[in-house]
Amino acid sequence: MNILLTYDYGKEKIKKMTELGYNIILKEEKDLFYSNEFENVEVLICYNPFKTLDVSKFKNLKWIQLSSIGIDQLPIEKIINRDIIVSNNQGGYSKPMGEWVVLSILEILKNKKGIFVNQQNRKWKMDTSVLELVNKKILFLGTGTIAKESAKRLKGFECLIDGINTSGREQEYFNNVYKSTDISKIIGGYDIVISTLPKIKETFHYINKELMDLMKNDSILINVSRGEIIDEAELINQLHNGKFLGVSLDVFEIEPLSELSDLWNFDRVYISAHNSWISEMKNERRFDVIYKNLKRYKNNNILLNEVNYIRGY
């Protein structure tokens, strides 16, 4: 059985894949085009070769394993027409992202940016405005693996942690979980709002003027999911009007963020370059999912993290 693999996980890991009975075709993902060499490829393991690689030309392709959590890079129509199975890396980046969420909150509450400026200027000045995390009310938009790993770590800070999801179904580590339709009724009661929502049609500009107006003036807003979840132009407008104690953004509507963006100009905005998922364990966890799914696929078992690509996650 032939696999087209677009990332080199190293000789030992590729050997483990071949020992399962797979023939590995290893190609660089960038500027990858279809060739006759891929005629019998049944499995594609990749991130995003789809700008140049036309999956409709694969006569025998049955399964795509993504190294990402998001699936918005997929050519959905071509995949639907072929009834191709898609699985993703859900949970693979959740632990470092959970750590990043905790970091983002504490940086703002402790005014880490201001303290660092004092350090750079060799200025010894105590900051008596810093706040503590104990008893803060936190709302997660989405209760998937990233939110769960974040909430798990925040539990030790004695916070009240709530979440919203489509149905309001209960989830571990959350005190309360509400239906997404209730968001306007509850968002004004939280000190910290964190987006871990997937990018789908229904979540485009989910955090809009209406929701920002309802949030506390001194609340904290964090986004580690997708930039399109927040109406960036409205966020800038709200910041100009004095809204938010702090905002931490790891993702943006257009990446890289333009040097001309007003977001760079606010001291209370913390900007990072889509960095929250990175850790020394990323390849280990990514390969672990791939390897487990290769064994399942060989044995005709249900795959881990199989995606409903019509729903969008």
Peptide bond into 256 cis (omega under 30): yes
Residue whose structure tokens are 């963020």: 257
Q: How many CB atoms lie within 10 A of CB 291?
A: 15
Do residues 310 and 83 touch, judged by C-beta distance below 8 A?
no
Give me the domain span that covers residue 172.
Answer: 94-271
Band of pLDDT at residue 313, cut at 50, 70 and 90: confident
For residues 184 and 245, state if they share a domain: yes
Q: What is the token pair recorded at 151?
A: 């909430």
How far apart CA 55 and CA 122 sit, in angstroms, is 57
Task: Give the pTM.
Answer: 0.95
Q: Tell me: the pLDDT tens digits for 144-189?
A: 999 999 999 999 999 999 999 999 999 999 999 999 999 999 999 9
For residues 44 and 122, state if they share a domain: no
Q: Tell me: the pLDDT tens digits for 84-120?
A: 999 999 999 999 999 999 999 999 999 999 999 999 9
Residue whose structure tokens are 């997404």: 180
Say whether 12 sits in a helix, a strand or coil. Answer: helix
For residues 287 and 263, state if they share a domain: no
For residues 181 and 51, state if they share a domain: no
How far apart CA 24 and CA 17 sit, in angstroms, is 8
For residues 235 and 153, state if they share a domain: yes
Instruction: Give me the pLDDT at residue 310, please.
Output: 74
Residue whose structure tokens are 């085009």: 33
How far apart CA 207 and CA 209 sit, in angstroms, is 7
Number of domains in the chain: 2
For residues 191 and 208, state if they share a domain: yes
Q: What is the token pair recorded at 247?
A: 């905002």
| CATH code assigned at 112 | 3.40.50.720
For residues 116 and 166, state if they share a domain: yes
Q: Tell me: the pLDDT tens digits for 189-198?
A: 999 999 999 9
Look at residue 311 and tell me if it is in a domain: no
For residues 139 and 171, state if they share a domain: yes
Rg (CA), the chain: 22
For residues 235 and 132, state if they share a domain: yes
Q: Tell me: the pLDDT tens digits for 271-280?
A: 999 999 999 9
List strands edge to edge, sheet with 220-223.
176-179, 160-165, 137-141, 192-195, 220-223, 246-249, 269-271
Do residues 235 and 210 touch, judged by C-beta distance below 8 A?
no
223 closest CA partner among 178, 266, 270: 270
